[in-house]
Every structure is written in C-alpha cells, then in structure tokens.
C-alpha cells in the first residue's frame, strides 16, 4: 500500500478533528435546548414518571419505586444509571440527603416542551364550563365566573385579564332616573362591558329632558371607539341650552371617566387560598409570592411578554419568572378574543410542582370557550 504523504496526513487529521468539534457543538447545543440527544428515550421516560409521581405525591422519587410502579422492563440499577444521567443534565436533583430525586426547573421545562400530554377535558367538565359561563349576564360577570371556574378546575390561583378595549365601540348609553336629582348612567360597549355609576345633579330632571339627553348622546357617540367617544363627550354640552349646562357637564364628565376606565388594563384573580394549601412547595415564606400577585402591573407585564407553544398555551417556569418576583412559581396562560377585537390572556399561577398536563388543558379549554362566548355578541 502506498504511503500517505506527511502533508496529506496532517490535512486528514485536521479534518477529522474539525468534524469532531462540529459534532460536539451540535450535541451541546441540542442538550442546552432541553435535554437533547445526550439523554436517551428511556431516560426521558424516566423523567416523565419522576415528574408525574412527584407531582402526585410530593415525595422524592427513587429508582425502586419507579421499577415497582412502572413497566420499564429493566432493573433498578439500570434506572439508577438513567437517573444519574438526568442528574448530570441538571434535570433532577436530590433534595437534602434523600435517596430519591425531584425535578428541577429545567426538568419541568423539558417535561412541558417534550413529554406533557394535554388530556382533553371530560364531557362532564366541558358541560360544566358551558353551563356555568353561559349563565353570565355581562362581561364583568363572565370574567368573574371564569376565574372562579379556572381556580376550581386547576386548584391554582386563576387570573383573567380584561380585554384591551381601546378598539371597542360604544353600543348604547342609557340614563335612568332614580330620584329627581340622582341619575344612573349605563355605559355599554360592543364587548359587553357595562358601567353603572350614579350621578348627583344640581337641578331636577324631567323625563322630557332625559329623552333629549339619551337621543343626542347616542346619536353623537354611538358606534365610536372609546377614545373617539371620550373626545366627543367632552364637548357635548354645546348641543344643549345654557340652563342645562350644569347637568349635562356632570353627566358628560361621568361618561368620559367610564370611557377611560374601560380602556385601562386590569386583572381579576381568584383562588389565592390555593397558595396557602401548597405552602410546603415553597422555600421559606409564601408572602413574597402573595405580595407579587397583588401587583397587577407586574402580572400584566408577565402576560404581555409570553408566547404560546404548539398547544396555544404559554408556560413559564420557576427562574423564568424571577424578574417578576415569582421565581418559585409557574404561570400557564392562553389568549382569548372578544367581539370588539380586544385581545387578552387568562391563566393560572402556582408552585412549580403542579399538574401541567391537566392545567394546560383546562387553561386552553376555558380560553377557547370564552372566545366563543364573547364572540356570539350576546354580552
């Protein structure tokens, strides 16, 4: 066999080293993205059962319990090797001196991204959602019912954001006399949002004047967006006689204020007591978490920065929420839309040890039903 020239041998060695480096970089990149090729399929299945068993029991999971409870068809020693690999990849960790392991934030992330199955809600659960939310009388009622329902379905803190209503339009404004000098203004948008504040006026108001008020106000602002309506209402006094200016200005100011309130971003929350029941899942006190969820601006910012996955549900886990003061929690959310084109999010918040599959399915189902409900233009 003819010998390879020395210069050619050096070139081949360099080429082989370059290929090895490129392959190593690709493996490292894949592993960094979420467990990757360096973790076998069986090891990922081991991670799946560790997450599921730990969520169910709150007890660290050992190799013997995995062999006893699950049909892997291998020895406990083999499972221990898989667990050692998972621990090396920082997907599980030993709490204190326990012989069992628990998932890390990274382990939960791999579970959610690669292993979680979104089980569809049962027929009974779907019927319960439709029956409970279908009884709502307006937007405030349907959103209040939504957070209560979502909290009951998931046993977590439930959050729902009011639709962004800057694109909403005025459907109707009603003025109802309660006393000669006390009126209730009813401000209704095309998303079903209803405000009903009381206004005390300096003069008696008769039905003839009220009829004129209703007619001119609705003719002037009906169908306008909320910002347009606020501008128009500010100058509506010019449509009335001078002696009526005092009453009209007070009513107009109330309606402008209602328009501004409709455009403010805000959240409803239910189920905070669920955090207390899961206090053992938090290191130290849960009060920092309770304080964080009281800050609506913080939660709205968090909602604004997330993006949904292939299931339409956004999941942020543990340290991913640290900048919001929620580094020991997971937040699951999904978007919904309303008739006026308003887009908002709803979701749940709880400890990282939670039933991700069930909670993601519940969040998605409620968001979809809420979109259909508000889209029927009945509220």
291, 349: one domain: yes
Domain boundary among 263, 297, 331: 263
Pair (157, 182) in one structural domain: no
Is residue 348 one of the residues assigned to a domain? yes
172 φ/ψ angles, rounded to the nearest 5 degrees: -165, 145
Per-residue three-class SS string for 66-115: HHHHCCCCCCHHHHHHHHHHHHHCCCEECCCCCCCEEECHHHHHHHHHHH
For residues 371 and 271, membership in a common domain is answered with yes
For residue 179, being part of any structural domain is answered with yes
Percent above pLDDT 90 for the chain = 39
Torsion 272-310-127-124 (CA) sign: negative
Pair 60, 82 in one domain? yes
Q: Is 4 inside a domain boundary?
A: no
Q: In the prediction, which pLDDT does 52 show?
A: 96
| pLDDT in the model for residue 1 | 38
Q: Is 18 part of any domain?
A: no
What would the mean pLDDT of 62-80 be, rounded to a whole number? Answer: 92
36 has a pLDDT exceeding 60: no
CATH code: domain of residue 64: 1.10.10.10
Residue where a domain terminates, one of 263, 295, 311: 263
CATH no. for residue 342? 3.30.450.40
Distance CA 351, CA 119 (A): 21
Whether the per-residue pLDDT at 66 is higher than 90: the answer is yes
Same domain, 279 and 130: yes
What total number of domains does the chain contain? 3
Predicted pLDDT of residue 82? 95
Q: Is residue 337 part of a domain?
A: yes
Same domain, 286 and 298: yes
| C-alpha gyration radius of the chain | 29
Residue 56, domain member (yes or no): yes
**Lowest-pLDDT range, 55-59, 140-144, 171-175, 294-298?**
294-298
Query: 87 and 107 share a domain?
Result: yes
Q: Are 327 and 288 members of one domain? A: yes
Each residue of 308-358: pLDDT tens digit? 666 689 999 999 999 999 999 999 999 988 765 567 899 999 999 999 999
Expressed in percent and rounded to 5, the helix, strand and coil fractions of the chain are 55, 15, 30
Instruction: Report the candidate in 118, 230, 98, 218 with the shortest Cα–Cα distance to residue 168.
Output: 230
**Rounded mean pLDDT, 222-243:** 84
Q: Give the range of the structural domain holding residue 60, as residue numbers without chain letter.
A: 36-115
Asked if 269 and 257 sit in the same domain, the reply is: no
Domain presence at residue 6: no
Residues 289 and 149 in one domain: yes
CB 105 within 8 A of CB 352: yes
Predicted pLDDT at 53: 96
* Position 1 in a domain: no
Domain edge (last residue) among 244, 263, 282: 263
167-223 pLDDT tens trace: 678 889 998 989 888 888 888 887 666 677 888 888 888 888 889 989 999 999 898
Closest CA to 285 of 244, 243, 328, 322: 328
* 80-134 confidence digits (pLDDT tens): 999 999 999 999 999 876 679 999 999 999 999 988 887 788 888 888 888 898 8
Residues 305 and 358 in one domain: yes
Residues 222 and 345 reside in one and the same domain: no
């Amino acid at each position: 066999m003819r010998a390879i020239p020395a210069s050619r041998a050096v070139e081949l060695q360099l080429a082989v080293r370059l290929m090895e480096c490129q392959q190593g970089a690709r493996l490292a990149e894949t592993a960094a993205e979420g467990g990757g090729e360096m973790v076998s399929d069986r090891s990922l299945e081991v991670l799946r059962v560790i997450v599921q068993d730990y969520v169910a029991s709150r007890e660290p999971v050992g190799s013997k319990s995995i062999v006893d409870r699950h049909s892997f068809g291998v020895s406990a020693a083999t499972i221990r090797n898989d667990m050692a690999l998972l621990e090396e990849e920082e997907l599980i960790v030993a709490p204190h001196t326990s012989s069992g392991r628990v998932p890390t934030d990274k382990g939960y992330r791999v579970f959610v991204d690669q292993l979680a199955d979104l089980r569809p809600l049962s027929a009974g659960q779907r019927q319960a959602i439709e029956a409970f939310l279908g009884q709502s009388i307006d937007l405030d009622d349907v959103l209040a019912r939504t957070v209560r329902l979502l909290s009951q379905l998931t046993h977590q803190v439930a959050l729902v954001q009011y639709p962004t209503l800057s694109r909403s339009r005025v459907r109707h404004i009603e003025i109802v006399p309660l006393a000669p000098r006390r009126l209730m203004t009813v401000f209704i948008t095309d998303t079903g949002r209803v405000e009903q504040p009381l206004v005390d006026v300096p003069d008696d108001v008769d039905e003839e004047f009220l009829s004129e008020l209703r007619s001119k106000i609705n003719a002037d602002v009906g169908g306008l967006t909320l910002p347009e309506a606020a501008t128009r209402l500010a100058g509506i006094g010019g449509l009335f006689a001078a002696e009526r200016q005092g009453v009209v200005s007070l009513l107009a100011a109330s309606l402008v204020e209602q328009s501004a309130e409709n455009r403010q971003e805000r959240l409803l929350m239910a189920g905070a007591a669920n955090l207390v029941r899961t206090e053992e899942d938090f290191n130290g006190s849960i009060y920092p978490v309770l304080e964080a969820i009281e800050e609506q601006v913080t939660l709205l910012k968090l909602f604004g920065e997330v993006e949904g996955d292939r299931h339409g549900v956004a999941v942020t886990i543990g340290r991913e929420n640290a900048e919001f003061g929620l580094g020991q929690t997971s937040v699951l959310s999904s978007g919904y839309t309303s008739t006026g084109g308003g887009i908002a999010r709803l979701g749940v918040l709880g400890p990282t040890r939670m039933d991700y599959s069930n909670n993601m399915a519940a969040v998605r189902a409620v968001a979809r039903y809420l979109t259909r409900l508000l889209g029927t233009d009945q509220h």
